[in-house]
């Protein structure tokens, strides 16, 4: 009986030890599984971020390719432009004073024109750009300052396409120096099919000191016709002399002066 009880107790102890070992092994396996799950979740987040960046880059490249295809002329035919898709125009964030390295302050006005289609994408549509700049006084009144007109061929050469912004980047030198820092820029875009769109934007300038403002270039005067200078003329040919003798009065040739070749 004692041996039977002892063996039973040993069997129970062995079973408890086995269950304990199984529990420890299970806990270790759970830790490994949880660590593996955390690693997989981190990899999934990285893959999602890379996929999102790839989609954004793909959309930007598709827009740039679309702009390039519009600007490339078709062999044997006119240049292809889509004007019917233009829904509105906007003035880009870079619209405002233009500063070059020639001196302090803004020496010109930069207008960034963005024709947009119904999907709000910028398209290179041909047309004429008209710009009006109005000074905004301290009392809020607006006074016309300058106006410009850019024809389609000249406007086409100002197109710039990039990943973040595309449009016509037009630099307009001052015709008259502004006297206030606040300007209202009004842009009118007339398409080749006759439709017109308008947009405006208030900008702030950096004006140079009065003594450093160069006068705007004046247009050159039209060329004057050359006036004939005095001196000996060309020699008369024999044919002209005979014709003159036939039509002249008698005795007049004796008083005629024969011009020879010019003296050098």
In the prediction, which pLDDT does 80 show? 45
Question: Cα 113 to chain center, whole Å?
Answer: 7
Rounded Cα gap, residues 161 and 168, in angstroms: 9
**Same structural domain, 56 and 97:** no
**Same structural domain, 108 and 51:** no
**Same structural domain, 136 and 208:** yes
Q: Is residue 258 part of a domain?
A: no
In the prediction, which pLDDT does 76 show? 39
**Same structural domain, 52 and 158:** no
**Same structural domain, 53 and 168:** no
Q: Is residue 204 part of a domain?
A: yes
Expressed as residue numbers, the domain containing 29 is 1-77
Q: Is the pLDDT of residue 81 over 60?
A: no
Q: Is the pLDDT of residue 7 over 80?
A: no
CA atoms within 13 A on the CB side of 177: 16
Rounded Cα gap, residues 204 and 51, in angstroms: 40
**Same structural domain, 130 and 34:** no
**Same structural domain, 38 and 110:** no
Q: Is the pLDDT of residue 8 over 90?
A: no
Q: Is residue 180 part of a domain?
A: yes
**Same structural domain, 148 and 192:** yes
Q: Is residue 185 part of a domain?
A: yes
Which of 38, 57, 77 is a domain's end point? 77
What's the number of domains the chain is made of? 2
**Same structural domain, 100 and 70:** no
**Same structural domain, 46 and 93:** no
Summarised one tens digit per residue, pLDDT across range 92-119 is 999 999 987 766 788 899 999 999 999 8
Q: Is residue 226 part of a domain?
A: no
Question: Cα 180 to chain center, whole Å?
Answer: 26
Summarised one tens digit per residue, pLDDT across range 117-165 is 998 999 999 999 999 999 999 898 999 999 999 999 999 999 998 777 8
Summarised one tens digit per residue, pLDDT across range 189-245 is 999 889 999 999 999 999 877 645 565 555 555 555 545 555 455 555 555 555 655
């Amino acid at each position: 009986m004692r041996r039977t009880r002892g063996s039973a107790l040993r069997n129970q102890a062995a079973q408890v030890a086995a269950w304990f070992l199984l529990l420890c092994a299970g806990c270790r396996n759970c830790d490994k599984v949880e660590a593996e799950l955390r690693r997989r979740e981190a990899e999934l987040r990285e893959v999602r971020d890379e996929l999102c960046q790839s989609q954004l880059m793909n959309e930007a490249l598709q827009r740039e390719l679309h702009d390039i295809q519009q600007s490339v002329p078709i062999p044997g035919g006119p240049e292809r432009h889509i004007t019917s898709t233009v829904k509105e125009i906007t003035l880009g964030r870079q619209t405002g004073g233009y500063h070059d390295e020639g001196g302090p302050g803004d020496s010109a006005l930069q207008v960034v024109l963005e024709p947009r289609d119904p999907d709000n994408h910028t398209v290179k549509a041909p047309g004429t750009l008209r710009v009006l700049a109005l000074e905004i006084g301290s009392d809020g009144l607006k006074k016309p300052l300058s106006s410009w007109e850019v024809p389609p061929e000249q406007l086409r050469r100002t197109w710039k396409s990039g990943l973040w912004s595309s449009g016509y980047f037009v630099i307009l030198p001052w015709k008259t120096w502004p006297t206030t820092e606040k300007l209202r820029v009004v842009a009118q875009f007339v398409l080749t099919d006759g439709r017109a769109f308008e947009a405006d934007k208030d900008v702030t300038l950096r004006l140079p000191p009065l003594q450093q403002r160069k006068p705007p270039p004046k247009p050159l005067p039209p060329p004057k016709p050359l006036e004939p200078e005095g001196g000996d003329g060309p020699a008369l040919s024999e044919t002209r002399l005979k014709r003159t003798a036939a039509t002249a009065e008698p005795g007049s040739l004796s008083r005629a002066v024969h011009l020879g070749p010019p003296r050098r």
